[in-house]
Amino acid sequence: QVQLQESGPGLVKPSQTLSLTCSVSSASITSRFSFWAWIRQPPGKGLEWMGAIGWHGSTYDNPSLQSRTSISRDTAKNHFTLQVTSVTPEDPAVYFCPSGDVLEVPSQWGQGTRVTVSS
């Protein structure tokens, strides 16, 4: 079964760029019909789909995030990344990098990583 591990700094300052990495094991991010997503859950709120990248390299994002997100990948390292620019106090959350064979409905999840925004 695919394993996903989110990693990155647990604390970022306002206006800085948040960079997170999802390391993938037991599966290739280039496997046909696979999608690799970033989803976050702010405290006390539901899950928010941020974006995804498909096996073919095409990216998808949530327009409600006002173009502050960027998803990329490194196929040699078999990981994909998320960058959120100009972070604000509204960005703290637990960030997940789930995957699946359907863009909108990921089925494999990792543990998530918590991000705090503070000066």
pLDDT score at 73 = 98
Residue-wise pLDDT tens digits, 70-112: 999 999 999 999 999 999 988 999 999 999 999 988 999 999 9
Chain center to CA of 36: 8
DSSP 8-state code for residue 8: S
CA angle at residue 110 from 99 to 58, to 5 degrees?
Answer: 25
Query: Is the per-residue pLDDT at 66 higher than 90?
Result: no
Is residue 1 scored above 90 in pLDDT?
Answer: no
At 21-43, the pLDDT tens digits run 999 999 999 999 999 999 999 99
User: What is residue 44's predicted lDDT score, i.e. its pLDDT?
Assistant: 95
Beta bridge partners of 70: 83
